[in-house]
Amino acid sequence: MTGEARPLIIILGATGVGKTSLAIELAQRLGGEIIGADSRQIYKYMDIGTAKPTAEQQALIPHHLIDMVAPDVNLSLAQYQDAAYRAIDDAHGRGSLPFLVGGSGQYISAVEEGWTIPRVPPNPELRAELERFAAEHSRAALHDRLRHVDPVSAERIHPNNTRRVIRALEVHTLTGKAISVLQAKRPPPYRIYRLGLQLPRAILYNRVDARVEAMIAAGLVDEVARLLDMSYDRALPSMSGLGYREIAAHLLDGWTLDEAIERSKFSTHEFIRGQDVWFRGHDNGILWHNVEDIDAAMLARDLGAWLERGS
């Protein structure tokens, strides 16, 4: 129907919950394409530790926003958002149904809520100064600086999320305006179905623990070693991802492999808790499903009916 809002399916959930396999099956049934919403899968050469869809999986369904940039490229949230909108609109142009799939809450929220993201380029010198302040005075002290100039953002950003605190301070310093003021929302012209996947926490922890072990068996240590040999410094944001920082410490700092594995598991559990907090705070009508109870064929029929109903 002319003028009808175009559909977008969002599949979100914690790392390791099973988003990729379900998204592929639904996309096959409904004629879809997958747009990645993962802040680590955007990087080239980082395949095992990011649980990137395999070549075989990518051959089944068109995938977008994977392997976008080298690990030393700082892809801003604004650049990701622009690329996601292009990929969604291109899929519509081909007559395909776009699926936005991932666990990076900020990426998903920026797209579905239509964040107006400040186009303020990174300032390395300022960031280094703020990082030194946090190292010398604590992350809490840095967060207090943000609270003084932008209490709204300080309320939204956890004190331990130093990268986001620094970004908010950077924007305020360079523009004189609070990032919370600049981040207005202009929802995109899509009709959105939000599908959330979940598992009981103990089951999910066991699953991701097994996945860490599988990543090691698949060659994660060699993958990190190759990245270091390619001169990708472990201080890069890309190299701070789950597993990468711990394996780098094993290779460079003398951590035992067992210690690196155990710390990777702990970090993943902590990351999952953070994902849960984000999704609960940005729930715009998520329909949550226990992965163990999902019937993909029935879900595809429900989605088909939703598509038929239109706006």
What pLDDT digit, counting tens, does each position of 149-172 carry?
A: 999 999 989 998 999 999 999 999
How far CA 33 is from CA of 28, 96, 201, in Å, comes to: 9, 6, 30
Tokens of residue 54, six digits: 């395999």
| pLDDT, tens only, 115-146 | 988 878 889 999 999 999 999 999 999 999 99
Sequence-distant (≥ 6) Cβ neighbours of residue 111 within 8 angstroms: 37, 81, 84, 85, 88, 100, 188
Position with higher pLDDT, 257 vs 1: 257
Residue found by looking up tokens 């620094």 in the block = 166
Checking if the pLDDT of 3 tops 80, the result is no
Tokens of residue 122, six digits: 């990174």
The pLDDT score that the predictor gives to residue 117 is: 82
| pLDDT, tens only, 13-71 | 999 999 999 999 999 999 999 999 999 999 999 999 999 999 999 999 999 999 999 99
CB 43 within 8 A of CB 107: no
Helix (H, G, I), strand (E, B) or coil at 99: strand
| pLDDT, tens only, 273-292 | 999 999 999 999 999 999 99
The pLDDT score that the predictor gives to residue 214 is: 98
Q: What is the mean pLDDT of residues 86-103?
A: 98
Checking if the pLDDT of 311 tops 80, the result is no
pTM of the full predicted structure?
Answer: 0.85
Helix (H), strand (E) at residue 64: strand 63-64
Checking if the pLDDT of 223 tops 70, the result is yes
The pLDDT score that the predictor gives to residue 2 is: 40
| pLDDT, tens only, 242-266 | 999 999 999 999 999 999 999 999 9
Checking if the pLDDT of 1 tops 70, the result is no
Give me the torsion for CA of 76, 194, 304, 289, rounded to 10°. 130
Position with higher pLDDT, 185 vs 183: 185
